[in-house]
Amino acid sequence: MAINFTNLLYSQNKKSKMGDFQDLEHIDGLSISSTSANLYNHSRDDLVMFYFRRGANYASVYTQSKIISENIKWNLNLKNKKIMALVVNTRNANVFTGKKGFRDLKEIADELSMQLTEKQKEDEENPEKIKPNQILFGCTGTIGETFPKEKIKKSIPDLIKKIKHRQNKYIWMKASLGIMTTDLVPKLAMEECKIGNVNIKIYGIAKGSGMIFPNMATTLGYVFTDANLSSNILQKLLKKNIETTFNAISCDGDTSTNDMVTIFSTNKAKNHSVKNINDSKLEEFNNSLHDVLLNLSKRVAADGEGASKFITINVNNSKNQEEAKKIAFSIANSPLVKTAIAGEDPNWGRIIMAIGKANVNINLNKLEIKFGTIKIIEKGQLSINYNEIEVAEYMKNEIIDLSIDLNMGKKNFSAYTMDLTKKYIEINSDYRS
């Protein structure tokens, strides 16, 4: 059963549409299509294309794993500032496929660029010749299996036939479903903002529920905006905002070979060009981009494989953010902490253990710990008001907040994770069937 964590569906920002995550609308300059390439043993969409009729500026962050997929290698080789399409397949990660896996992508890009060029001739007054190196790839699925090149190539005509130049919530939902693997629910988010006096849209989708831990981020995440922004500005904004969003989540402490988060701008909005990310005109856009990325990353963590609870870990008043991050992830990645929460056991000793193993110098006399609003540790000692029955009752909630106050500085960091249940083992032992 899909998990519905209400705090992920509503924002405190009145302008936000985080709650209406299914109701993404149209972005000028973007077309979407999805189809089944029969990559699974059952019928479902497993191939999705995002097509930019007049091109798009883009920026990406990728996995920092030393073993990466062939599609990541392909994307890193592209030097174009202008991208015409992003193609995402599920079921096959295209990892450990060697030179053949890379050549397979080249063949697909060659065929797709030719057919998209013909599509340009049909649709555009001034058609462009689309080049293979103007196509990005996203791959997700099983590692080490032969890449299904022929199935994907055979699906290209249908993918192009199904192109929808105008999006609505159903098309966005279909695309979001089409990139899922072990996910239980699609992940979509949107914000609207302004650059200067110009209205701007920021829409995003993501997939991921396992193999979730930075560094870079996790999963596949794609953000689309009609803002007029250069690739250089997009790169700086994405790098800035990824640290406290996709780099702040963990499901199982494992980093994927295929991680990528990419932002595309169609440049259809008429905002004035922005040369510096510190320009005051970008403030609202920057905040909205962060909201979209955080919304998507929380949804990924909440949909972690087998999850029954969504956990936020706030480490406050640290000497620096790096140390706060170490402690937060030491807790988030602890199987003992995650299983205790799954079992609704108020075993605060496991929190103490996880803080200690983070290898951060702290002053125990200043340490405070809370579960929700309930004080557990005060000034390095068990609170005189501690009531285990009260804490045990709190642990029954689907949303768990842990707060660790170091009282040693002014820097904070929040990490987001889920509990570890028997279902996690079942999903991953049965992953390839």
Distance CA(248)–CA(294), nearest Å, equals 9
Contact 408, 367 (CB under 8 A): no
Contact 418, 309 (CB under 8 A): yes
The answer for residues whose C-beta is within 8 angstroms of residue 99's C-beta and 6 or more apart is none
**CA 302 to mean position of chain CA atoms:** 12
117 has catalytic annotation: no
Catalytic residue among 63, 218, 219, 421: 218
The answer for residues whose C-beta is within 8 angstroms of residue 394's C-beta and 6 or more apart is 346, 371, 372, 374, 400
Furthest CA-CA distance within the chain: 76
Contact 52, 165 (CB under 8 A): no
Distance CA(249)–CA(69), nearest Å, equals 21
Distance CA(136)–CA(55), nearest Å, equals 12
Q: How many other C-beta atoms lie within 10 A of the C-beta of residue 330?
A: 22
C-alpha dihedral sign at 37, 39, 45, 48:
negative
**Rounded to the nearest 5°, which phi and psi values hold at 76?**
-65, -25
Q: Tokens 């902490």 appear where?
A: 337
Q: Angle at the Cα of 65 (from 174 to 429), degrees rounded to 5?
A: 60
Q: What is the per-residue DSSP string for 228-288?
A: ---HHHHHHHHHHHHTTTGGGB-SSS---SS-EEEEEE---S-PPP---TT-GGGHHHHHH
Which residues are known to be catalytic? Answer: 218
